[in-house]
Amino acid sequence: MIDVDSIATDADLDEFLGGQALAGANMVPRAWRDGADEPTLRPARQWALEQILAAMRRRSPPIDPAQLADVSQLKQAILLGASERLYRLAMTGAGQAEVAYYQAKAYAAQFASEINNLAPTLTGGVRATMRSRAVYRR
């Protein structure tokens, strides 16, 4: 299994969001704070990684995580997916629900686009195709 911390850290995600996530912008669910001095964003990053791996397994031919030569190529997709997850969860909490809704929607679109266009390098130096072609049989 791929460790999400080896690809994108909480600091990477916080920097991607302009320092909002860990600065007390009510983006992090209370359960993720757990009385700690600093909340964790790992559940959002882990969720994004799981979505990416599931999308790669649905491809034809399926891409197994063990086939990935450079997992750092997934970083942008993880950051977009985690951002979408954080904003979507922020919508359910108190605060500016309208802003969170539009941000979540924007990140969801970018995340879907990033997953669809992801062409990681597999072991052996082969690049995975962005999309498979439809095969029509007679």
What's the rounded mean pLDDT across residues 36-51? 87
Would the pLDDT of 134 be above 50?
Answer: no
User: Residue 39: is the preceding peptide bond cis (ω within 30°)?
Assistant: no
Q: Read off the pLDDT of residues 92-115 as tens digits, 9 standing for 90 and up.
A: 665 566 677 777 888 888 888 888
The amino acid occupying position 40 is T
Token pair recorded at residue 111: 């995340």
**pLDDT, tens only, 61-71:** 888 888 888 89
Spatial separation of the C-alpha atoms in residues 119 and 128, rounded to whole Å: 5
- What's the rounded Cα separation, in Å, for the pair 29 and 98? 17
